[in-house]
């Protein structure tokens, strides 16, 4: 090919790519794909099933689902009041933690997102506790999870007895900070 031919081909390639980007943007504007994503999530609601599908890349897939959970939470939090539903938050977190049962951040932050009173969060302390209990099932001596459950009981559910019980259990786990015995006393 001549030099001019090459320049022409490159120019045409750039124009085509530009056209592709424009088409993509136009399509995204007219046919938003948020719903499509949500349907894809709903489609495989079962963590264990997904775990089989993604073969040996479950940790990586867990990261992807964690990012999706964050996007879902972040997206809904920013949305207008009516759009704040957080309905997929628990399924996404459940899938994330099934794919990677040791995903501490997903349990702890996920529980916070779930437990926050509605509109700032999902307002579902019950789901937060369920998620953390799942974490304890995977790692029975992780004091942070006991501690987080205690906080959910203390702040959101206002159940001091339960909170005290969970704090006590947290303090009993190996590696827990020792200053907590006093906290327990005050309850």
Q: Write out the residues near other proteins by the rule CB under 8 A.
A: 1, 5-6, 9-10, 12-14, 16-17, 19-21, 23-28, 30-31, 33, 36-37, 39-40, 43, 64, 67-68, 70-71, 74-75, 78
Minimum CB–partner distance for residue 108 and other proteins (Å): 17
Minimum CB separation from other proteins for residue 71, in Å? 4
Q: How far is the CB of 72 from other proteins (least distance, A)?
A: 8
Distance, in Å, from the CA atom of 30 to the CA atom of 125, rounded to the nearest integer, reads 37
Are 141 and 173 a contacting pair, CB within 8 Å? Answer: yes
> Please, which residue, 57 or 155, has the CB nearer to other proteins?
57
In angstroms, give the least distance from the CB of 160 to other proteins. Answer: 35
The 10 Å CB-count burial string (b at 16+, else e) for 131-151 is bbebbbebeeebbbbbbbbbb
Coil, strand, or helix at residue 27? helix
133 CB-near residues (< 8 Å, 6+ apart): 145, 149
Of 87 and 172, the one with the shorter C-beta distance to other proteins is 87
Q: Which of 39, 158 has the CB closer to other proteins? A: 39
Distances, alpha carbon 132 to alpha carbons 21, 28, 83, 149, in Å: 43, 37, 27, 7
Q: Say if CB 153 and CB 166 are below 8 A apart.
A: yes
Provide the minimum distance between the beta carbon of 154 and other proteins in the complex, in angstroms, as a whole number: 28
CB half-sphere exposure, 129, CA atoms < 13 A: 16
Q: Is 10 or 187 the residue whose CB approaches other proteins more closely? A: 10
Looking at beta carbons only, is 14 or 187 nearer to other proteins? Answer: 14
């Amino acid at each position: 090919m001549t030099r001019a031919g090459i320049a022409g081909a490159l120019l045409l390639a750039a124009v085509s790519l530009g056209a592709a980007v424009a088409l993509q943007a136009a399509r995204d504007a007219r046919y938003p794909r948020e719903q499509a994503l949500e349907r894809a999530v709903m489609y495989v609601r079962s963590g264990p099933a997904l775990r089989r599908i993604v073969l040996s890349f479950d940790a990586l897939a867990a990261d992807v689902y964690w990012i999706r959970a964050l996007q879902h939470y972040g997206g809904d939090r920013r949305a207008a009041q009516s759009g704040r539903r957080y309905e997929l938050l628990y399924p996404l977190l459940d899938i994330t933690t099934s794919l990677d049962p040791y995903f501490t951040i997903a349990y702890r932050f996920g529980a916070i997102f779930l437990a926050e009173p509605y509109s700032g969060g999902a307002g579902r302390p019950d789901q937060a506790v369920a998620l953390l209990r799942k974490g304890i099932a995977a790692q029975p001596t992780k004091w942070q999870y006991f501690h987080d459950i205690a906080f959910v009981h203390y702040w959101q559910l206002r159940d001091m007895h339960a909170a005290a019980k969970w704090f006590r259990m947290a303090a009993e786990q190996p590696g827990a900070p020792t200053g907590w015995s006093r906290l327990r006393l005050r309850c």
